[in-house]
Structure 1
Amino acid sequence: MTESNFKLSTLPYKRITIESFEKEGKEILKEFKEAKSGEQQFLAHKKYYELTKKMATAMILAQLRYDGDVTDKFYEEEQNYYDEISPKITAFENEYKKALFNTNFKGYLEDKIGKIAFKDIEFDLKSFDKSIISLKQEENKLISEYSKLLAEVSIDFEGEKLNLSLLEKYLTSKDRNVRIKATKARSMALEKIKDNLDDIYDKMVKNRTEQAKKLGYKSYVELAYYSLRRTTYGIEDVRKFREEVKRYLVPFASKLHDERRKRLSLGKLDSVDEGVYYLEGNPAPIGTADDIFKAGKKMYSELSPETKEFFDFMLDHELFDVLGRANKAGGGYMDMLYTYKAPIIFANFNGTSGDVDVITHECGHAFQGFITRNDEIMEHNDIKMETAETHSMSMEFFTEKWMDLFFGDRADDYRKMHLEYAIAFIPYGCMVDEFQEIIYSKPELTKEERRQVWQNLESQYKPHLKYENDDFLGEGRRWQLQRHIYMSPFYYIDYCIAQTCALQFKIKMNENYYDAWNKYLAFSMESAKDTFQNMLHNVGLDSPFDSGYMENLISKLDK
């Protein structure tokens, strides 16, 4: 099957065993160590690229098909297999990276793959050791257990059997009584698994804390920052960012929430009103899923030559798995099938504006992967999360010009809703991050105490919010539906950092759209070749860690 004629649904899958991976890997490592020059080592390094691409492609394809149906026994076994061997893959990769980091030809290889890559390798070596392989295996199993638990939640509502994703359209209904009824139905379903959710997270906290102790760290917080390769900012920078959000952004967001409360003719905002922006209901995409893709094709063909080529490629190879269905894992993501140089997008369409967000947000990730896919230096595309999320969240704003195609005469309503949501999201995301810092700094907290921590943080970051119709969330359990907390610890602050950068692009595109687009394109092409802060400064944006950043941003948004 050639690169030019494949379709995602018919791609062949074959398990790559840890034995074959290690055998080939050891041969490459031997060749690397015995090389007599930087040129010879780089030739061996390119073979390492091919090996890791082959393994990653198999793992991603297996996960995609398992996520598509968590009751598929074949792909469940494949997912379990990769959960088991992925720490062993990491162990070999670290062995290889040690040789690369300590090479006698470092100057030559730094010129080839970049100094940033060597700093990332330093953090990789600090975040993993063979001593934690069994703990990583257990962690992977817990992540899969959590994902499966939520995917299999079945809710009887209005004569339908719905999963959590498909219930969303009722949770954001314009009819408040429907929202309340849907919320109560969700609470009843989650009531059955809430002890499981507590138990899984309790095991995760203990597991990750033990990983940190084995590697010599005070807590998992320190280990997480190494694991996420935060080479140019640390916990103190993030704490300062969160405090500035509390000081400047929370009051601004509260003002927007109050305006929304008035639009909805409510005395106060309850949790059942959290996702609703207009009395007549949120704008929803017009037409079918096919209509959304047709609109997306027109939008990206008009935005730029690069986006046209990208979206045509995605459609030609059917690289979307986005239709909601029973037993499909929740959430959405983009990943790369490296062997085919192809981005893939997984999501759950449910008839809400979130369907359009898939075509903008996830396509922001995929577009960046597509335009840099031919770079032979894999390290150049080893993007950190705050950079990746800046790509996706900024694309949401760049595509707003075409929202008439998706929402008709309610396009302006969508644009207003999108901006308000983008601003209001940042306090929530910071709350998620501070929650995790507290939990992993005090792993001895009980399950009940963790929920109290969440409730206390909500009073600081979301003081407008009440819980009168949601027994589950009202117990301080909102975080248990936030998959990142279980599956990707400490990732969530990257969304907040990136959202503020996307808002900078929004401000610039209001001044000069095509100049802003060219800056975005340049930022995307940089990929991971420089530090996050430098890449922002290079295109005329401020860094979220610059002095006075948040106050300046809010003053511009307020205008």
Structure 2
Amino acid sequence: MKFKEMPYQRVDLEEKRVRFQEIMNEFANAESGEAQFQVHKKYYKFKDEIETMVTMAKIRHDIDTTDPFYEKEQSYYDEIEPELIDMNVIYARQMYDSPYRAYLEEKIGTVAFKNIQLNIRSFDKKLIPLKQEENTLTTAYDKLIASAEIEWEGETLNLSLLRKYLTHKDREVRQKAYTKYCAFFEANGEKLDSIYDELVKNRTKQANELGYDTFVEIGYDRVKRNCYGKDMVENFRKQVKEYFVPFAGRLHERRKNRLGLEKLSCIDEGVYFANGNPEPIGTPQEIMVSAQKMYGELSKETKEFFDFMTENELFDVLGRKRKRAGGYMTYLPDYNAPFIFANFNGTSGDINVITHECGHAFQGYLSGKDPIKEHADITMETAEIHSMSMEFFTEPWMNQFFGKRTDDYGFMHLEDCAIFIPYGCMVDEFQHIVYENPQMTPAQRHEAWKQLESQYRPHMDYEGFPYFEKGGFWQKQPHIFDDPFYYIDYCIAQICAFQFKIRMDENYQEAWDSYLKLCNLSASDFFTNMLKEVGLDSPFEDGCVKKIVEKLESLYMTKA
């Protein structure tokens, strides 16, 4: 069914409570593990119906953040989401305490029960008012960012549409665009600081209510860190500082020389060639036609997936005013349908969206066929391997999008991926500092960010942009507001994606088969175990990051 034809009906919380209690009673009265599993399948259907409506409302609200109907629906779900979480936790606790738990664990897996433990540990009914407030605050941030109206030569642009000019080949255009970009954050800086300050206090209070000193512990539980913890993440960041930061520094130096500059400024960030970054050929509609051809040729599995997405119009990728910034893949369980949301802006990022988000969507499409729903409950670092690796697996088709500048795009993409890792780790360390010191003032948070930039991105120069110079750049990163502790998953996944890149250049089919295996494994095993199963080194192991840097330097970085 086409997305626009999918009927929407607000979730009636009271009606769902009645149905939920019926399922709970039936589960409690079941007299065998198999009988409880059959009730569990009814719970799948119950939960899918709710998630489909909540997700549909979110997508339609994000498509137009000023639509009054879906604005009300989003506010409604912000309010009742904690109640829905509470039902999930109550049901999960009953499964966890079941006398037939061993049978259920055999059916749905050890990982599922570990995730149940994390869910129970990170939520309690008494948090509902705080969760409602948290949802309201994150929606306020998203709406504020989406509200940007930047005048540009007779047009009114949002932040996503301004991106094209931030990476323009003409340095004067970049200067002008960056000035307007910075001005938006400076004008809204106090409001953004206030929203974040309230979020930090809110999340810290939630942690205190559950008996934790800081939000870090339940933040990790929320993102389902089910096989590694803070110490392993800290060791990973340490390796990145030791090996990837100097490597990124060498890449920035080469980029500076290619651009013919004496020194790099923040206005040069994301610009790789003096004649401009390669831009995709054709209209957005033509790009989507080329994408369908690409996925049709990559494998029979990707052909089936992309044809399904196209036939059912499960994309909204055109950049528009009043549309939420950014991009994502989400899932409509009642229709076994992934959905891709993005903001095309005429840059190479449009192609990155079609490869990255389709990596997520492809895996979601595969896992939707698995009758054990818990297997679709993948952790984020696993999900980002699916997407980041797909960016590399689609490289043989990039000539369809970039023509004569295909080689430039390939080089830019590889370099951009490498340069990202220090930034991503910086975002993560910033969040640890903030939540371990919740009493910090907004000014102290800005200073902390500034200090981290000197460690992770010493090349970055904000001269002429005082708001960013004093440490305000982090406010543009939605994950910091909306999804605490998620961002490091991109870095962990990028190290794994680089391993697939190295392998595919040696034997493409063998690498693809390994990737497909990882996608099909979904969440049937723990992340660190699945890496071993598909032949990847764990980024947490000492020596892994060093080895990747050495490989990238020897195999690819002599080409530019």
Fold shared, TM-score > 0.5 on shorter chain: yes
Q: Does 1:334 align with 2:333?
A: no
Q: Which of 467, 481, 505 in structure 2 is aligned with 1:486?
A: 481
Question: What's the counterpart of residue 499 of structure 2?
Answer: 504
Q: RMSD value over aligned CA atoms? A: 0.8
Question: What's the counterpart of residue 541 of structure 1?
Answer: 536
Query: How far did 1:228 drift?
Result: 1.3
Query: How far did 1:51 drift?
Result: 0.8
Q: Which of 165, 180, 201 in structure 2 is aligned with 1:185?
A: 180
Q: Which of 397, 403, 407 in structure 2 is aligned with 1:402?
A: 397
Query: How far did 1:185 drift?
Result: 1.4
Query: How far did 1:553 drift?
Result: 1.3
Q: Gapped runs of 5+ residues in structure 1?
A: 1-5
User: What SS does structure 1 have at the residue aligned with 2:156?
Assistant: strand
Q: Which of 118, 127, 151 in structure 1 is aligned with 2:122?
A: 127
1:110-121 equivalent positions in 2, closer than 5 A: 110-121=105-116
Contact kept? 2:528, 2:538, Cα under 8 Å: yes
Contact kept? 2:431, 2:484, Cα under 8 Å: yes
Question: What's the counterpart of residue 558 of structure 2?
Answer: none
Query: How far did 1:549 drift?
Result: 1.1
Query: How far did 1:497 drift?
Result: 0.2
Q: Which of 74, 88, 106 in structure 1 is aligned with 2:69?
A: 74
Contact kept? 1:272, 1:469, Cα under 8 Å: no
1:303-342 equivalent positions in 2, closer than 5 A: 303-342=298-337
Counterpart AA for 1:240? N
- Distance (Å, rounded) in 1 between the aligned partners of 2:345 and 2:360: 21
Query: How far did 1:371 drift?
Result: 1.5
Cα deviations by residue, 1:524-545 (Å, 9 ceiling, x for unpaired): 0000000111111111111111
Counterpart AA for 1:135? L
Contact kept? 1:183, 1:469, Cα under 8 Å: no
Contact kept? 1:157, 1:185, Cα under 8 Å: no
Contact kept? 1:180, 1:469, Cα under 8 Å: no
Q: Gapped runs of 5+ residues in structure 2?
A: 555-560
**TM, length-normalised to structure 2:** 0.98
Question: What's the counterpart of residue 3 of structure 1?
Answer: none
Question: What's the counterpart of residue 191 of structure 2?
Answer: 196
Decide which moves more: 15-24 or 284-293.
Answer: 15-24
Contact kept? 2:185, 2:475, Cα under 8 Å: no
User: What SS does structure 2 have at the residue aligned with 1:554?
Assistant: helix
Counterpart AA for 1:256? L
Cα deviations by residue, 1:470-503 (Å, 9 ceiling, x for unpaired): 3332231111000000000000000000000000
Query: How far did 1:45 drift?
Result: 0.4
Question: What's the counterpart of residue 54 of structure 2?
Answer: 59
Q: Does 1:16 align with 2:11?
A: yes
Q: Which of 408, 414, 432 in structure 2 is aligned with 1:413?
A: 408
Question: What's the counterpart of residue 461 of structure 2?
Answer: 466
Cα deviations by residue, 1:383-423 (Å, 9 ceiling, x for unpaired): 00000000000000000111100011101101100000101
Counterpart AA for 1:229? K
Q: Paired residues, what number?
A: 554
Cα deviations by residue, 1:341-377 (Å, 9 ceiling, x for unpaired): 0000001000011110111000000000112211111
Question: What's the counterpart of residue 383 of structure 1?
Answer: 378
Question: What's the counterpart of residue 107 of structure 1?
Answer: 102
User: What SS does structure 1 have at the residue aligned with 2:450?
Assistant: helix
Question: What's the counterpart of residue 371 of structure 1?
Answer: 366
User: What SS does structure 1 have at the residue aligned with 2:248?
Assistant: helix
Question: What's the counterpart of residue 557 of structure 2?
Answer: none
- Distance (Å, rounded) in 2 between the aligned partners of 1:189 and 1:212: 33
1:126-525 equivalent positions in 2, closer than 5 A: 126-525=121-520
Counterpart AA for 1:399? T
Instruction: Calculate percent identity across the aligned residue pairs.
Output: 55
Query: How far did 1:338 drift?
Result: 0.3
- Distance (Å, rounded) in 1 between the aligned partners of 2:116 and 2:544: 30
Query: How far did 1:187 drift?
Result: 2.1
- Distance (Å, rounded) in 1 between the aligned partners of 2:293 and 2:2: 22
Counterpart AA for 2:209? K
Query: How far did 1:320 drift?
Result: 0.2
Query: How far did 1:231 drift?
Result: 1.3
Cα deviations by residue, 1:191-246 (Å, 9 ceiling, x for unpaired): 22111101000000000000000000110011101111111100000000000000
Query: How far did 1:20 drift?
Result: 1.5
**TM, length-normalised to structure 1:** 0.98
